[in-house]
Amino acid sequence: MTIENAPEPVIADRTTFEAELAELRTREKAHTRAGDAIAAARRRLPVVEVDPTTPLIGANGPVPLIDTFEGRHQLITYYFMWHHGRPAPEQCEGCTWNNTQLDELSYVHSRDITYAVFCQGPYEESRRYHDFMNWTMPWYSAQDSLETLLVGRQIGMMHVVCYLRRGDRVFETYWTNGRGVEAVDINYRLIDLTIFGRQEPWEDSPEGWPRNQWETDPSVVDVHPFRTNGRPIAHWSRIHAGRSDDLS
């Protein structure tokens, strides 16, 4: 089912539409207040100390974790999944989707926060992917320190982890993975506002609404929420601009 041949939605007059929207707005406001309460609880979590000298690899070689703060007191890191030795089209489409949305970082910088990607693969290979995507955020390889940095968590899965620097000490303050990484995803937030939503099989939508079939129909080999024509969606503008995605 596509948008073009989807069933017609219920059509109402303006008064009915506004009345039902007002009911929904009450639920939206409650959702916003609940989110505020969760954020308040997040600010009250205890923290755990981590080794500030934990090594990563950056543009100039080895760098300790504390230096990735770039002098700021807070650090948000995205642990980027990596398929070592695989070409650009086979790299993580979800991580690509998320980080393509993070070009302007001055707003987080204004709150004394650095955002950086900690790639779970080797630096040179993954940095070429960073350059192909024309990203500007700080990029490090955490490959050799994942057991230390992600202690007790699944290596090879996307994570967002937050840290605090107090002098020469570093503390982990929060982490999330799975759908929790949607915190960096403005596209889904916008798509969720539309009548057809994400068009994904798990969504509760009216009968006949368009759905992406990548999970429910194995015969559909090139349909994926983050891919089109065999590549992460954001690749195509780079390819059309003549950029090389050779990671070798």
Q: Tell me, what's the pLDDT at 190? A: 96
pTM above 0.85, yes or no: yes
Mean pLDDT of the chain: 94
pLDDT at residue 5 in the model: 85
223 has a pLDDT exceeding 60: no
In tens, the pLDDT along 157-199 reads 999 999 999 999 999 999 999 999 999 999 999 999 999 999 9
Long-range contacts of 242-246 (CB under 8 A, 24+ apart): 243/132, 243/134, 244/132, 245/87, 245/88, 245/89, 245/129, 245/132, 246/87, 246/88, 246/128
Average pLDDT on 233-240 reads 96
Which residues have C-beta within 8 Å of that of residue 105, sequence separation ≥ 6?
115, 136, 137
DSSP assignment, residue 235? H
Q: What whole-number percentage of the chain has pLDDT above 70? A: 95
Class of domain 48-248: alpha beta
What string of DSSP letters covers 16-79?
Answer: HHHHHHHHHHHHHHHHHHHHHHHHHHHTT---EEE-TT-EEEETTEEEEGGGGGTT-SEEEEEE
